[in-house]
Every structure is written in structure tokens, then in C-alpha cells.
């Protein structure tokens, strides 16, 4: 006879998290996964009753019927139901919908919340169930209705007036406009010529090249050296070569560099882009796996990082105590500050969740490397090292600034020498832009000492326009301007690139012609929708809804009247824009027409202009100027269907099976004669490296910044 024993039911969002919880809890618990939202506004209609005070119309999402049937079945036999969806607005809304579906009273303490998927965290959460937080639910409803009104009202207008398949969105349109505005700045920028003079100054106490130090012309007659042209630069260089320099001032001091705070969602996406070359979407995909649980040899399935959608830099007292106990054991007492390092988050940061950190500081990346995929290991190591470094001592540097003067010319040396590694023993933060490293040994100069100056060189430079955004710097800009929230950064960037408004080349984002056209139209007719301050203020109003200071429908009531006026004006004034497809020189092999370029889900492709009569389509084939190292035929640049990663293969495939993830070069290795490949190091260097793994000869040819401006 089957057992009639009642079990307790826990409902989470993801199947991976459900499996992890099932391994933690005994047979008295059943764990089901909702697989995200179970109810939403319908796709086939706007789903918001504008005439009835913007009442949303929720329906069961297509495909969720079987999932809900399974949940209902388990709920009937459950003595207690716990809603354990993610601890954010979206998760709260999912729990609210589940409560309605399962007939749970909103006053029941059915909601449990945990910020790490560990056995201890789950057990603690089960001791403290609470009611559903309607502030969070209403903030999610307000955002969802706002986004639906903007998307479903403007998008059909763009379809009718510009091109089928276009869309507008409250956050995506602002992000696109930021990329467009940056491009306008670049196009309007007028470079100015300037020259720099550098030299090598010797240290009398040392011999050879190791006894020389780089100096640059800093002052002319006591004023900042401003050299506008080459003839002036050469005249000054001649004077330097014949001058006799003396140390006129010498300043030696110590500086300290403090560690960065533990990761927020935004800072993790930025650093993973810089250090690991991950897209924002890939970062969130991999860190989700680390949060929901990975199978660790000897431990079973464990969530190894805390909740991943957060803009707080706070860590729990328990985690802080464990870390301060671990640092002196691992690195020595001198690496632990007397009092904990304290970090301040952004002014409008939500402090509900901790920063992203490892759930157990004693679980080092090296210990569990064999249990993780390559991507999981690299991202976990990044999170782990940043967390440990955040509570270590600052790095200490001895610095020297020396002025070498003759008559009215002053050459300046600045250098710093690390005297205590501090947190840099484990981690150093990266930057989007190239940083000059000045860490070096310092000369033993003294004031009044005569210094020989050699190798005087002049270099022409031009002021540079602002750099195009990378995914990392766009995320930082969105965060700084208060646009969107941690959960929206990655999907926003994915949307604007997949829609063809923004393209990416060498990690840099630039607007397409379509992106510029749609942005111009939005600026003219929907100025407030793409206004950065307006969008940031809307985020603040959503925060007020969560804090139950403002009814959620009031946000919509205040927004809609002016929005409706903008819509009416746009519908009557915008004339239909015909976007002609770019014609290629490739002939359709089915009907003979010249193929045209189209934008698809995975980027541009070639299609026959006679569609639908002719449905021929083909990928864009790009050849590189390097012959196949195996057979001498042309090499093609391709895109992997599975990983969407660029690779290079022979045009004679499958007869020739040559393939390379790195770009092959025509040059031969000067050491072993194999072919060379182009790589980019994490320091931002462009390397030419031998493809022969037993050789690996390499040479630095440029930096990412230099390569961009070539």
C-alpha cells in the first residue's frame, strides 16, 4: 500500500537549484521547479487594461501547463508549502503568482529566502518563513506594465514606419542612444597634434642599461611643456642632447593602494569582460551555475557563490569573521588589517543582498578545479580572489619624483617600487583603458647630483576621441547613471545587439545605421523615453514602490498621459522610411539576383532579394590574407554554431581539416618555422605567437588601445 505520509513542498525557480536542494534535504521534503515565471502578460495583445486603471491581465505562460500540473499534484499531498524563488523582485512576483494558483493565503508565512544554495542557508531559511513582500511584487508589476506599454505601443509604430521586426524598450532604447551619443562624440572630435620628448637618465652608481631610467620633458621655463609641432620638438631635443642636467628636486614618499570591494553584479560583469573576455550574457550564465550548485568531488552538489543579482558591497558578519580568520593562516598576520575594511556602495544601491562571494572561503579554486568546467573555474577564481583581497592590507609603494634641470628645461622622472604586496599578492583590479606601469627599481639620486641624459627621442601624438563602449564600460555607465538594475544589464546588451541596433567589433560597441536611425526617431518623438535622467528617475520611483512609499499604479498614471500624446503625434507625423538592403556582389545561385545583406539572430547574412519567391540564403564568407598552413588554400573566418565564437578554417574542408581558434598569420616563427597566430593577452597586449605548443615563441606588437587607432 502506498504511503499516505505528508511531505513538505519547496518550490524554486530552476531545476538545477531543485536538484541541489533535494540532495540537502531528507525524504520529508519534495522540491519542484517553476522554471521561471509561470504567469505573465499575453504575447498576443498588450495585456494592460488602460481604461480600467491599467489593470494587468495575467495568463499562464504557454508551455508551463505540465509544470503547474506537477506542482499542483505535489501541493495537494503537502503538509506545508514553501515558496523559495529567487530573493529579488522577479522572484517575489513568481511566488505571488504561485500563491494565487495554489490557493495560498497572502497572509500565510509561506515565503522563504536564502542568498546562497548551501545546506546551512536552506535550514536557516526554513526556520524563518515570512509573508510575501507586496512591495517587491508591486515594483515588479509597475516595471512590467511600463515596459509592456512602451514596447507594445512604440514597436508596432516602428514596424509600420521603418521596418518589420524592430522594437523599442524603456531601457534598451536608452542604452542604444548612449552608444549612438558616444559615436557622435567620436565623429565630432577634432584631433590636436602634440609632441612628447623622452630620454634615458643614468644613475652614476649603476652600470649598463639597468642603470638608466626613463624621463620626459615636463617644464619649459617653469611652465608645462606644450610642444605643438615637430620642428619645435626637434629644436628642444637638440638642446637636451647638449645640456648638462642636475637633480634640482627630489621627493621620496610612500603611497598605499587599497583593495577593491567584493563584486556586485555590475563589477563582476565588467571584470569578467576585461580579465576573461566574457560577454555579459556569458558571465551571468556561468555564475548562475556556480550559484545554483555544482557537483564537487567529495562534497556532492553545492552552491559555491552567493546570490548573483546584487548591487551591494556588504558581506555578512559571519562571512567577514571566517575571512579574517583565514587570511593570517593562508598569507600571514601582516596581511590582515587591524580592523575590517569597510566599503560604501552607490547612493541608490539596494542593500537586500550581500556582495557576490564564495559560500566557503576555505574552498579554494585550486581545490575544486577538477570539479569545474574551464569557464566555471576561471570565474570562481575571479570571485574568490576578489573577495579574499577585499579584506587584506593595502599594497605599499615607495615613490620617487625627481626633476632634472638645466637652464629653462626640466626633465621629470616618476617611479614607484612595491615594498609590501598586501592584497596584490592575490588580486589586482583591471581597467578598460590601457594603464602605463611605472613600478620599477628606483635610482639612488640625490639633490645636486649631475646626471647624464642619453637616447633623447621625440614622438608625435594626437589627442584621442573618447573610446567606444565595451560591454564592460557600457554596464558601468548604465549603473553610474542609474539605468536598469543588476538583472537587466546583460539582457539589455543582448537585445540591442540581436536587434541589429548595435554591433561589436574587437570588443567595442558601435551603432549600426539602423540603430542611429531609430535613435534619431526616438529622440524626436519620444524624447523622455530615451532621456537618461528621466529613465534613472523612473528607477528611483520603482524603488519607492518597493519601499511601499508609492502605489504602483500611480507610477503608471503619472507616466501614461504624456506618453499617449507622444504616440499620437508620432503616428500622425512620422513618414514611412524605406530602408534599402545593402546589395552585395554575390549572385544568387538559384535565380541570378544579387544577394542582399540581412540581419538575423546571429548577425548578418546574405539573402535573395526576391524572397519569398526565392528563399535562398547563405552565410557571409570572410577570407583572411593568410594561406592555409596545411595546403596553401584560402582561410575563411567562421562562427561556431554552438558557442558563437569566431574561428578560422580552410576553404577546402573537408578535404583539408585545418582549423584554429586563433587568427593564423602569414609570418613564420623565427625560432622553429611553424606558422604564427595572433592573440590578445589579459594585459591588453596584442601578441604574435608561435602555434607550435612546444615552441611558443612570442612577441608583443601592440596594445589593444594602439591597435584600435591604427
Q: 168: domain CATH number?
A: 1.10.460.10
> In this structure, are 106 and 149 located in the same domain?
no
Residues 84, 12 contacting (CB under 8 angstroms): yes
- 533-583 pLDDT, tens per residue? 999 999 999 999 999 999 999 999 999 999 999 999 999 988 877 767 778
For 304-313, what is the mean pLDDT? 92
Among 82, 307, 469, 675, the one annotated catalytic: 307
For 595-606, what is the mean pLDDT? 75
> In this structure, are 119 and 180 located in the same domain?
no
Domain boundary among 522, 539, 573: 573
Q: What is the pLDDT of residue 520?
A: 93
> In this structure, are 506 and 441 located in the same domain?
no
Q: How many domains does the chain have?
A: 5
In a domain? residue 632: no
In a domain? residue 151: yes
Instruction: Quote the CA–CA distance of 57 and 52 in Å, as a whole number.
Output: 11
For 306-332, what is the mean pLDDT? 94
Instruction: Quote the CA–CA distance of 11 and 672 in Å, as a whole number.
Output: 60
To which H or E segment does residue 533 belong? Answer: helix 532-546
> In this structure, are 384 and 401 located in the same domain?
no
> In this structure, are 44 and 112 located in the same domain?
yes
For 482-511, what is the mean pLDDT? 88
In a domain? residue 493: yes
The residues, any chain, with a CB within 8 Å of residue 379's CB and separated by 6 or more, are 272, 276, 278, 283, 286, 287, 290
In a domain? residue 593: no
Residues 594, 585 contacting (CB under 8 angstroms): yes
Q: What is the pLDDT of residue 643?
A: 55
In a domain? residue 146: yes
Q: 191 in the Ramachandran plot: left (φ > 0), alpha (ψ -120 to 50) or beta?
A: beta
> In this structure, are 157 and 217 located in the same domain?
no
DSSP SS3 for 118: coil
Structural domain including 497 reads 141-188+468-573
597 is catalytic: no
> In this structure, are 222 and 128 located in the same domain?
no
In a domain? residue 566: yes
Q: What is the pLDDT of residue 437?
A: 47
Compute CA 297 distance to the chain's CA centroid, rounded to the nearest angstrom: 30
Instruction: Quote the CA–CA distance of 223 and 229 in Å, as a whole number.
Output: 17
Q: What is the DSSP string of 541-571?
A: HHHHHHTTSS-HHHHHHHHHHHHHHHHHHHH
> In this structure, are 41 and 114 located in the same domain?
yes
Q: 351: domain CATH number?
A: 1.10.290.10
Residues 530, 174 contacting (CB under 8 angstroms): yes
> In this structure, are 16 and 124 located in the same domain?
yes
- 642-696 pLDDT, tens per residue? 555 778 999 888 889 899 988 898 888 888 888 999 887 655 567 888 988 888 7
**pTM assigned to the model:** 0.79
Instruction: Quote the CA–CA distance of 149 and 152 in Å, as a whole number.
Output: 5
Instruction: Quote the CA–CA distance of 420 and 399 in Å, as a whole number.
Output: 13
Number of helices and strands (H, E) in the chain?
17, 31
- 187-214 pLDDT, tens per residue? 999 999 999 999 999 988 776 556 789 9
Q: Mean pLDDT score of the chain, rounded to an integer?
A: 89
Domain boundary among 371, 389, 407: 389
> In this structure, are 275 and 383 located in the same domain?
yes
In a domain? residue 634: no
Q: In terms of DSSP bridges, do strands 685-690 and 675-680 run parallel, antiparallel, or are they unpaired?
A: antiparallel
In a domain? residue 150: yes
Q: 451: domain CATH number?
A: 2.70.20.10
For 439-467, what is the mean pLDDT? 91
- 122-133 pLDDT, tens per residue? 999 999 999 999
> In this structure, are 84 and 123 located in the same domain?
yes
Domain boundary among 358, 389, 420: 389
Find the length of the chain.
Answer: 710
Instruction: Quote the CA–CA distance of 261 and 388 in Å, as a whole number.
Output: 10
> In this structure, are 482 and 519 located in the same domain?
yes
Amino acid at each position: 500500500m502506498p504511503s499516505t505520509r505528508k511531505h513538505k513542498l519547496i518550490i524554486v525557480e530552476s531545476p538545477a537549484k531543485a536538484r541541489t536542494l533535494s540532495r540537502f534535504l531528507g525524504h520529508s521534503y519534495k522540491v519542484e521547479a517553476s522554471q521561471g515565471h509561470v504567469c505573465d502578460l499575453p504575447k498576443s495583445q498588450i495585456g494592460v487594461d488602460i481604461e480600467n486603471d491599467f489593470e494587468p491581465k495575467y495568463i499562464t505562460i504557454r508551455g508551463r501547463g505540465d509544470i503547474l500540473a506537477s506542482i499542483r499534484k505535489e501541493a495537494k499531498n503537502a503538509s506545508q508549502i514553501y515558496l523559495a524563488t529567487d530573493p529579488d523582485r522577479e522572484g517575489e512576483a513568481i511566488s505571488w503568482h504561485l500563491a494565487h494558483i495554489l490557493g495560498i493565503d497572502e497572509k500565510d508565512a509561506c515565503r522563504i529566502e536564502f542568498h546562497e544554495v548551501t545546506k546551512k542557508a536552506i535550514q536557516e531559511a526554513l526556520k524563518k518563513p515570512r509573508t510575501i513582500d507586496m512591495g517587491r511584487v508591486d515594483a515588479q508589476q509597475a516595471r512590467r506594465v511600463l515596459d509592456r506599454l512602451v514596447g507594445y505601443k512604440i514597436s508596432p509604430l516602428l514596424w509600420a514606419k521603418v521596418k518589420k521586426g524592430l522594437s523599442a524598450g524603456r531601457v534598451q532604447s536608452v542604452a542604444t542612444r548612449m552608444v549612438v551619443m558616444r559615436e557622435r562624440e567620436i565623429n565630432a572630435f577634432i584631433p590636436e597634434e602634440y609632441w612628447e620628448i623622452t630620454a634615458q637618465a643614468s644613475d652614476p652608481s649603476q652600470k649598463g642599461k639597468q642603470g638608466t631610467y626613463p624621463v620626459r620633458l615636463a617644464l619649459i621655463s617653469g611652465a608645462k611643456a606644450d610642444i605643438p609641432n615637430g620642428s619645435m620638438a626637434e629644436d628642444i631635443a637638440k638642446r637636451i642632447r647638449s645640456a648638462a642636467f642636475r637633480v634640482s628636486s627630489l621627493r621620496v614618499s610612500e603611497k598605499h593602494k587599497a583593495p577593491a570591494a567584493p563584486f556586485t553584479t555590475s563589477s563582476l560583469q565588467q571584470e569578467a569582460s576585461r580579465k576573461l573576455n566574457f560577454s555579459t550574457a556569458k558571465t551571468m550564465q556561468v555564475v548562475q551555475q556556480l550559484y545554483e550548485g555544482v557537483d564537487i568531488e567529495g562534497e556532492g552538489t553545492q552552491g559555491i557563490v552567493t546570490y548573483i543579482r546584487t548591487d551591494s558591497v556588504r558581506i555578512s558578519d559571519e562571512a567577514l569573521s571566517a575571512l579574517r580568520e583565514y587570511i593570517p593562516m593562508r598569507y600571514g598576520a601582516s596581511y590582515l588589517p587591524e580592523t575590517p575594511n569597510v566599503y560604501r556602495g552607490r547612493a541608490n544601491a539596494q542593500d537586500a543582498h550581500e556582495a557576490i562571494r564564495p559560500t566557503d572561503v576555505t574552498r579554494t579554486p585550486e581545490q575544486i578545479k577538477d570539479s569545474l568546467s574551464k569557464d566555471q573555474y576561471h570565474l570562481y577564481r575571479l570571485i574568490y580572489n576578489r573577495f579574499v583581497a577585499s579584506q587584506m592590507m593595502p599594497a605599499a609603494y615607495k615613490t620617487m619624483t625627481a626633476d632634472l634641470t638645466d637652464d629653462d628645461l626640466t626633465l621629470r622622472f616618476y617611479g614607484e617600487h612595491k615594498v609590501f604586496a598586501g592584497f596584490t599578492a592575490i588580486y589586482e583590479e583591471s581597467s578598460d583603458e590601457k594603464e602605463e606601469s611605472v613600478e620599477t627599481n628606483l635610482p639612488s639620486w640625490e639633490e645636486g647630483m649631475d646626471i647624464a641624459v642619453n637616447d633623447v627621442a621625440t614622438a608625435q601624438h594626437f589627442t584621442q576621441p573618447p573610446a567606444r563602449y565595451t560591454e564592460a564600460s557600457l554596464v558601468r555607465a548604465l549603473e553610474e547613471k542609474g539605468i536598469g538594475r543588476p538583472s537587466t544589464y546583460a539582457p539589455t546588451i543582448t537585445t540591442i545587439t540581436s536587434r541589429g541596433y548595435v554591433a561589436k567589433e574587437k570588443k567595442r560597441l558601435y551603432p549600426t545605421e539602423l540603430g542611429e536611425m531609430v535613435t534619431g526617431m526616438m529622440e524626436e518623438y519620444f524624447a523622455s523615453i530615451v532621456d537618461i535622467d528621466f529613465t534613472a528617475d523612473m528607477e528611483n520611483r520603482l524603488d519607492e514602490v518597493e519601499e511601499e512609499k508609492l502605489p504602483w499604479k500611480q507610477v503608471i498614471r503619472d507616466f501614461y498621459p504624456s506618453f499617449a500624446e507622444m504616440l499620437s503625434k508620432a503616428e500622425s507625423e512620422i513618414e514611412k522610411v524605406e530602408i534599402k538592403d545593402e546589395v552585395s556582389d554575390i549572385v544568387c545561385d538559384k535565380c541570378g539576383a544579387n544577394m542582399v545583406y540581412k540581419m538575423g539572430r546571429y548577425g548578418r547574412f546574405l539573402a535573395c532579394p526576391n524572397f519569398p519567391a526565392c528563399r535562398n540564403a547563405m552565410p557571409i564568407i570572410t577570407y583572411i590574407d593568410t594561406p592555409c598552413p596545411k595546403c596553401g588554400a584560402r582561410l575563411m573566418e567562421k562562427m561556431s554554431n554552438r558557442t558563437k565564437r569566431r574561428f578560422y578554417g580552410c576553404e577546402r574542408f573537408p578535404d583539408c581539416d585545418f582549423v584554429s581558434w586563433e587568427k593564423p598569420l602569414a609570418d613564420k616563427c623565427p625560432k622553429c618555422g611553424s606558422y604564427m597566430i595572433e592573440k590578445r593577452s589579459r594585459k591588453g597586449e596584442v601578441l604574435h605567437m608561435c602555434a607550435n605548443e612546444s615552441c611558443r615563441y612570442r612577441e608583443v606588437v601592440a596594445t589593444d588601445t594602439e591597435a584600435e587607432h591604427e
